[in-house]
Amino acid sequence: MKAVSKKALTAVIACMMACVMFVTPVFAATNYFSKTTVKLNAYNGGSSTVSALSSGSVSGSERSITSVSLYCNVSRGSDPYTLYVQSPEGTTAILDGPTSSTTLTSNAFAGEDPEGKWKIWIVNSGYTTHGNVYPVSTVTVTLKVYYEY
């Protein structure tokens, strides 16, 4: 029984070594950029200003976004809102805005090229949960875009 286990173990190790030797994967380099919006303020069903964030210079010639994270720094007493994030290619992700500070992630942009201007804005949902006279939402968003090249 022990001999069989030893043989099996040897076979597994040999197999793994063969994999390492002949099927070494090519790892893509990775990078990210991070930008923060101005304070986004939306009132009574209206839209905030649109904050345009440039990727700046990005690395490589064939780039592909792996993930996007959004840290939402929400002002106390904010009413519900919707968060919109638009990539340079025009894909626009719609997210339920958190009413307390938190980080959201989105895979909606996976595979896109991050180069260019990103746009972020919020829209107040038009109803209140905080007893405000009119609903109001205020948030600052930090966008982090991770990509490989």
Partner 1 sequence: MSNIMNYSYLIQNMFGEKNSIWGTGSALPGAFQFSQLNSGVVQSQLKAAGIDTGSRQYKAVIQKMAEGGCTSGMFTNVQAIKNLMKQYNSDGDYVGADGSVVPGMLVSGDADSSSWHKMIDVSEEYRQKIFDMVKEEFIKENGVANGDTTNRSSVYRAYQFSIDKSDRLKGTWSLQQYESKYSKALYDAVKAANPDWKVGKSFDTSILDNVTRESVEANLKISSNTLKSIDVKV
Residue (9 or 127) nearer to partner 1, CB: 127
Binding residue (CB under 8 A) for partner 1 from 82, 101, 142, 148: 82
Report d(CA 123, CA 84) in Å as an integer. 8
Measured CA distances, 145 to 4, 109, 113 (Å): 50, 9, 10
Residue 115 near partner 1 by CB under 8 A: yes
Q: Name the token pair of 21.
A: 């030797």
DSSP track, 15-33: HHHHHHHH----PPPEEEE
The CB-of-148 to partner 1 minimum distance in angstroms stands at: 12
Binding residue (CB under 8 A) for partner 1 from 8, 12, 18, 45: 45
Contact positions toward partner 1, by CB under 8 A? 44-47, 50, 54-63, 80, 82-86, 88-96, 104, 106-117, 119, 121, 123-129, 131, 133-135
